[in-house]
Amino acid sequence: MIHHIPNVLTKQEVALFRQQMETAQWVGGKVTAGTLSASVKNNQQLSEQDPLTHALSEKVMHAIWQNPTFQTAALPHQIIPPLFNRYDEAETFGFHVDNSIRLIRGTNHKIRTDLSCTLFLSESDEYDGGELVIEDTYGYHEVKLPAGDVVLYPSTSLHEVSSVTRGTRFASFFWVQSMIRDDAKRHLLFNLDESIRNLRSAHGDAYAEVVKLTNIYHNLIRMWAEV
């Protein structure tokens, strides 16, 4: 399932990010690509060793761990610290699949990539092209969100960033190992949690059906979680 999670960063936070990113030193994006992905990747990244990468990454990590929609949709167990990229005119990243296993920066610890995430750091009217195109069972989905919003989608998906034809597209990207490996099960739990929240809002926490459904929700997590 593809999730649009709005307002992960505020407009003020995005503006501060952009002030620092505009004057940063960028390197070729192929440095974090696999062998096949590198052949279709033409963009720029902040180096993983750049102190700015670490500083901005910490702020993104804090924001996503505090975001209730992200938590419900991803059910995260571990998160790869975010990286940052830019696409200038004619830059693109053709169709590819993300690596199934990735190292956490600065460690020998590996995690499974269940979910891929893009945090948009440019407003949609700042550039033309540059859509994130995600393939799933129902076809191709073009994603171009306001700055500060996140799209969360299964890492099993083929996806691309189409060529930028005007302006510059800035973004952050990262991966999640979920407590619930299976996308269909995560989708079911997300819908169940949404129903519980709606019932709580309408009837209060003491409503008998809220208690019953909450019990079911946590027992399903207990049954399916890998931690």
pLDDT tens track for 172-212: 999 999 999 999 999 999 999 999 999 999 999 999 999 99
Q: What is the pLDDT of residues 87-134, one digit of tens each?
A: 999 999 999 999 999 998 888 999 999 999 999 999 999 999 999 999
149 and 211 share a domain?
no
Cα of first residue to Cα of last residue in the chain, in angstroms, is 22
Q: Check whether residue 60 and residue 31 sit in a common domain.
A: yes
Q: Give the residue-averaged pLDDT of 147-159.
A: 97
The model's pLDDT over 37-85, given as tens digits with 9 standing for 90+, comes to 778 999 999 999 999 999 999 999 999 999 999 999 999 999 999 999 9
Nearest-5° angle of CA 29, CA 102, CA 78?
Answer: 120
Same domain, 136 and 197: no
On whether both 73 and 172 belong to a single domain, the answer is yes
Residue 208: domain span: 183-224
Residues 212 and 173 in one domain: no
In the structure encoding, which two tokens stand for residue 12, read together? 């003020």
* Per-residue tokens: 78: 């571990």
Sign of CA dihedral 69, 74, 77, 78: negative
Q: What is the CA radius of gyration of the chain?
A: 18
CATH number of residue 133's parent domain: 2.60.120.620
Q: How far apart are CA 111 and CA 102, in angstroms?
A: 6
Tell me, yes or no, whether 157 and 191 share the same domain. no
Q: 168: exposed, middle or buried (C-beta count within 10 Å: 0-12, 13-18, 19+)?
A: middle
In the predicted structure, residue 34 carries a pLDDT above the cut 70? no
Do 147 and 89 share a structural domain?
A: yes
Tell me, what's the pLDDT at 149?
Answer: 98
Residues 132 and 212 in one domain: no
19 vs 57, 121, 133, CA distance in Å? Answer: 15, 11, 27
Do 84 and 111 have their domain in common? yes
User: Is 85 in the same domain as 156?
Assistant: yes
Q: What angle do CA 15, 133, 119 make, to 5 degrees?
A: 25
Question: How many distinct structural domains can be found in the chain?
Answer: 2
Q: Is 80 exceeded by the pLDDT of residue 32? A: no
User: Are residues 171 and 188 both part of a single domain?
Assistant: no
Whole-prediction pTM: 0.94
Does one domain contain both 170 and 196?
no
Question: CATH number of the domain that 188 lies in?
Answer: 4.10.860
In this structure, are residues 129 and 144 in contact, taking their beta carbons and an 8 Å threshold? no
- Final residue of a domain: which of 160, 178, 196? 178
- Give pLDDT, residue 30: 80
Q: Span 130-147, mean pLDDT?
A: 95
Q: How far is CA 126 from the centre of its chain?
A: 21
